[in-house]
Amino acid sequence: MQSYRFENVYIKSVSAVAGPKEKDGPCGNLFDKTYTSLYAEKKTLEEGEKTMQEDAINIALIKAGLDIKGPELLISADLNNQLACSSKVASSYISSFLGIYSACASSAEGVILASLLLERSNIKNALISSTSSFGTAERQFRYPLEYGIPKKQTTTLTVTGSGSMVLGKKTTDLKITEATLGKVFDPGWKDVNDMGGAMSFAAYKTLKSHFENLGTKPSDYDLIITGDLSIIGSNILLDLFKEEGIEIKNHNDAGKIIYQREKQKAFCGGSGIACLPLVAYTKIYEKLKKKEYRKVLLAATGALFDPVYVQQKQSIPAICHCYTIERG
């Protein structure tokens, strides 16, 4: 796996907008905007998701002091076929556009790509947009909401919302300093009702490579936060490191944070492209700004499965990308 160090990639702003279930969770009072339904006051779930993505992008641009017409580069991801939401939203801006897909690892992939381009080209600023919707994801990967299919206790719920991060070359108090691009790992996992388990192996591989390649160790970070392993996947990840004689005491998972699991009946927790951004750009970002954290390693995890492959009894590959936010 390839790891990188960055010298001049700074965070200009972040934004996070969220759906009704997320609003009622632990991060609820930290979101820039929330919505009363999955439809965001629109006629369809798709239009609602598009509205959330546009709102998050516009809020981040305004916070960064950039033209609302768009940044130089827009990197965007969602869970719809052909990145339909991101592509539709991108048509509203003048920005050069990169649509990316690593399932729920896409937010980190976008940050890493933007950081590489900022450090190695004449681009001055880039915005990374990460969006998911419970309604559209259920229809895409499982069953339409109208079916009312019962869920197993190992299930994670796709987070509804959108997060945006604006990166630039001008100095701010927070910067991207490290990153590792993961590889696809297929552990032979076939249980579509437990994505956290499938992704835990990819998280282990990427984090281990990150530490080895850059000469760091888990205790160098105030927090190591994974994207959406939730309860089961997080336990597997920690057990995998214990087998190597490494006990990680500073780990948490965005899927465990985003909901009050028992009170909100969120099964094993949250998942989705927006899961990590909605936690990282609120709770984690706030602690970095307040100097409660100095250095945080964020690892976004993605299950690269397709419903057709699943019906053919094929296993589910997974991937994890990670990056570090550090106080300058």
* Neighbour count for residue 153 (Cβ, 10 Å): 10
Query: Tokens 């997080």 map to which residue?
Result: 234
Integer Cα distance of 85 and 307 in angstroms? 20
What's the CATH code of the domain at 21? 3.40.47.40
Nearest Cα to 104, choosing from 202, 245, 241, 216? Answer: 202
Query: Average pLDDT of the chain?
Result: 92
164 and 180 in a single domain? The answer is no
| Cα-only R_g, the chain | 18
The per-residue pLDDT for 190 is 79
318 and 181 in a single domain? The answer is yes
Across the range 231-259, mean pLDDT stands at 95
Q: pTM for this one?
A: 0.94
23 and 147 in a single domain? The answer is yes
Going by pLDDT thresholds of 50, 70 and 90, the confidence category of residue 150 is low
Nearest Cα to 220, choosing from 249, 243, 255, 183? Answer: 249
Boundary residue ending a domain (125, 153, 168): 168
Going by pLDDT thresholds of 50, 70 and 90, the confidence category of residue 138 is confident
Task: Give the structural domain span for 229.
Answer: 174-327
Going by pLDDT thresholds of 50, 70 and 90, the confidence category of residue 147 is very low
Across the range 35-64, mean pLDDT stands at 96
Across the range 87-111, mean pLDDT stands at 97
Going by pLDDT thresholds of 50, 70 and 90, the confidence category of residue 46 is very high
The per-residue pLDDT for 104 is 94
Number of domains in the chain: 2
Torsion (CA) 270, 276, 282, 285 in degrees, nearest 10: 150
Q: Is the pLDDT of residue 148 over 60?
A: no
Task: Cite the DSSP H helix spans in 91-173.
Answer: 106-120, 134-141
136 and 183 in a single domain? The answer is no
163 and 67 in a single domain? The answer is yes
72 and 192 in a single domain? The answer is no
163 and 60 in a single domain? The answer is yes
91 and 109 in a single domain? The answer is yes
Query: Tokens 């087998």 map to which residue?
Result: 243
Across the range 259-287, mean pLDDT stands at 87
59 and 207 in a single domain? The answer is no
The per-residue pLDDT for 197 is 84
